[in-house]
């Protein structure tokens, strides 16, 4: 499946909810406190219809996201059904990790092999401040649970804020030395102003700070097909990766579409352009061919890079799907 710029599109990120059990300061604001009415959120059967059609069109990798996907009831049943779709060779999930301790084994049995955990600090007080009262220990227990049941790789996505950067790098490096996890430092993405205008810490600075603390050797990253560049600190059990959406943007290699919880297919993370699938999914005369046509329409609307993306609405990752 090719877009207008001859990029192979084989990756679909599916948000199953815009709800979350944390109130992170960069995601929940006074302007977006409300959540989607439940009747607007796609049912699991509708998600499966999209998944099957997407695989027919050429999608081979699916990631389940939110909001926080583990707050949605019976998530393991959805994982099980998606994992049975012939043609998918990678199924993963992104979570904040707070509920993972209770779900890791169930998700693995359902067919989930790997997981990404969003975690921006290893300082418990800072975590509480950033997340509106969250408990860091719950996330750490979730990481340990994922490792213990055999999920591999276990990736940690980290957006370092300006406050306490050097302390955080020391803490995350220590984690990589102690556990077989893959920490990826990500440049901050801003959805409220012009793309990248308030990015707090550039990749070059992050690499400089990490390199001054550990002897790094560039290495092949863990399974996952992502845009990170990986390094192995000497003597570490895991790796450090860097994802640079602004300073080293990877739009020319972008291979993904995103489905929002209310059924909008988004060709680009930074664009307002959406193709609404929900009316087709809820049509009593539903036809798979109509869904395929809409998926292919989304491909034609995918911009060459985020610099050409048109964005007017204020929106957060919780509303888009991580």
What is the tens place of the pLDDT at every residue in 145-167?
999 999 999 999 999 877 789 99
Query: HEC profile for the chain?
Result: CECCCCCECCEEEEECCCCCCCCCCCCCCCCCCCCCCHHHCCCHHHHHHHHHHHHHHCCCEEEEECCCHHHCCCHHHHHHHHHCCCCCCEEEEEECCCCHHHHHHHHHHHCCCEEEEECCCCCHHHHHHHHCCCCHHHHHHHHHHHHHHCCCCEEEEECCCCCCHHHHHHHHHHHHHHCCCEEEEECCCCCCCCCCCCCCCCHHHHHHHHHCCCCEEEECCCCCCCCCEEEEECCCCCEEEEECCCCCCCHHHCCEEEECCCCEEECCCCCCCCEECHHHHCCCCCCHHHHHHHHHHHHHCCCCCHHHCCCCCCCCHHHHCC
**CA diameter of the chain:** 62
If one compares 185 and 191, the residue with the highest pLDDT of the two is 185
What six digits make up the tokens of 184? Answer: 């990826």
If one compares 153 and 195, the residue with the highest pLDDT of the two is 153
Residue 199 has pLDDT above 60, yes or no: no
Give the mean model confidence (pLDDT) for residues 196-222: 82
Cβ(265)–Cβ(274) below 8 Å: yes
Predicted confidence at residue 204, as pLDDT, reads: 87
pLDDT in tens, 249-296: 778 889 999 999 999 999 988 888 999 999 999 999 999 999 999 999
The pairing of beta strand 264-266 with beta strand 182-186 = unpaired
Give the mean model confidence (pLDDT) for residues 83-104: 97
Q: Which of 104-118, 193-207, 214-228, 230-244 has the lowest mean pLDDT?
A: 193-207
Topology at the third CATH level for domain 11-320: TIM Barrel (3.20.20)
Give the mean model confidence (pLDDT) for residues 45-71: 97
What six digits make up the tokens of 21? Answer: 């059990």
pTM of the full predicted structure? 0.92
Q: What is the mean pLDDT of the chain?
A: 90
Cβ(77)–Cβ(16) below 8 Å: no
Tell me what percent of the residues of the chain surpass a pLDDT of 70.
89
Distance of CA 137 to the CA centre of its chain: 22
State the helix-helix crossing angle for 124-131 and 136-149, rounded to 10 degrees.
Answer: 100
Residue 47 has pLDDT above 50, yes or no: yes
Measured between alpha carbons, how far is residue 7 from residues 1, 13, 251 in Å?
A: 8, 17, 10
pLDDT band at 197 (very low <50, low <70, confident <90, very high): very low
Predicted confidence at residue 30, as pLDDT, reads: 62
Residue 42 has pLDDT above 70, yes or no: yes
The angle subtended at Cα 43 by Cα 40 and Cα 44, nearest 5°, is 155
* 81 C-beta neighbours (distance < 10 Å), count: 17
pLDDT band at 228 (very low <50, low <70, confident <90, very high): confident
Residue 102 has pLDDT above 60, yes or no: yes
If one compares 92 and 35, the residue with the highest pLDDT of the two is 92
Residue 198 has pLDDT above 60, yes or no: no
Residue 66 has pLDDT above 70, yes or no: yes
Predicted confidence at residue 177, as pLDDT, reads: 97
Predicted confidence at residue 195, as pLDDT, reads: 39
């Amino acid at each position: 499946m090719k877009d207008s710029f001859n990029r192979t599109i084989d990756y679909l990120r599916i948000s199953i909810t815009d709800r979350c059990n944390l109130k992170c300061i960069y995601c929940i604001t006074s302007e977006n406190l409300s959540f989607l009415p439940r009747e607007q959120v796609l049912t699991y059967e509708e998600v499966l219809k999209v998944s099957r059609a997407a695989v027919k069109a050429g999608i081979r990798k699916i990631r389940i996201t939110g909001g926080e996907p583990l707050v949605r009831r019976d998530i393991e049943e959805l994982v099980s059904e998606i994992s049975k779709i012939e043609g998918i060779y990678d199924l993963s999930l992104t979570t904040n990790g707070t509920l993972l301790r209770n779900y890791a084994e169930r998700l693995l049995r359902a067919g989930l092999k790997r997981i990404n955990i969003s975690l921006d600090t290893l300082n418990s007080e800072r975590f509480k401040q950033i997340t509106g009262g969250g408990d860091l220990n719950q996330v750490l227990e979730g990481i340990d649970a994922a490792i213990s049941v055999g999920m591999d790789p276990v990736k940690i996505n980290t957006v370092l804020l300006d406050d306490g950067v050097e302390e955080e790098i020391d803490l995350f490096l220590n984690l990589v030395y102690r556990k077989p996890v893959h920490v990826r430092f990500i440049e901050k993405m801003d959805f409220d102003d012009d793309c990248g205008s308030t990015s707090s810490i550039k990749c070059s600075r992050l690499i400089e700070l990490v390199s001054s603390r550990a002897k790094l050797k560039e290495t092949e990253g863990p399974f996952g097909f992502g845009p990170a560049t990986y390094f192995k600190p000497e003597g570490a059990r895991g790796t450090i990766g860097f994802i640079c959406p602004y300073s080293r943007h990877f739009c020319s290699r972008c291979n993904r579409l995103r489905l929002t919880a209310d059924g909008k297919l988004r060709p680009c993370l930074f664009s307002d352009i959406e193709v609404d699938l929900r009316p087709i999914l809820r049509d009593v005369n539903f036809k798979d061919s109509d869904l395929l046509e809409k998926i292919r329409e989304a491909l034609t609307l995918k911009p060459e890079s985020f610099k050409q993306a048109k964005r007017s609405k204020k929106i957060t990752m919780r509303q888009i799907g991580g």
